[in-house]
Structure 1
């Protein structure tokens, strides 16, 4: 059996990137925590000045989630973009060597 080998050398840019989904999830979790803190800061059973209605703490928590979670996701995405830009400057060039071996009968 004879072997025939062929080598091909290329170069490529290698750079690290953040995992955006992890930053989005962390931002959403931060939004939930902020909504929970703000819910207890407003108190229970207060009458709204604009509508005259009384809202429970669970309703206030739900209303605050509508604003805090998207804001947290946006903040997480912004932090991920900043990390992406900072890490993008530190790219390196690597050498890729690919060898193909064929057996001939």
Structure 2
């Protein structure tokens, strides 16, 4: 087998980029905590108009429908803003690119 090696120097741009999934996951957890806190501070007395009392589990579920998507969106927005600011810290470096081919 003969090996052919080609080497060249190229320029590459390096910039830090946030991981969107991590930020959105943290947003979901914050939304979950917000729903739990709002459920905890809520009052569970019959309303004056309807004489209905919702159980804490049902209130928590309804709050999750609002707080989790809001937290998910806010986490994504924070990641986007961090990416925009990271563009200022981009730098160009010279790297050695090597290509090795083998003949069978």
TM-score, L = length of structure 1: 0.83
Unaligned segments of structure 1, at least 5 residues: none
**CA, structure 1 residues 76+4, in 2 after alignment: closer, same or farther (shift >3 Å)?**
closer
Structure 1 runs (4+) greater than 6 angstroms displaced: none
Counting matched residue pairs gives: 103
Aligned counterpart, 2:97 = 98
Unaligned segments of structure 2, at least 5 residues: none
**Superposed displacement of residue 52, structure 1:** 4.5
Aligned counterpart, 1:75 = 74
**CA, structure 1 residues 98+17, in 2 after alignment: closer, same or farther (shift >3 Å)?**
same
Q: Over aligned residue pairs, what C-alpha RMSD do you find?
A: 2.3
TM-score, L = length of structure 2: 0.83
Aligned counterpart, 2:17 = 17
Aligned counterpart, 1:57 = 56
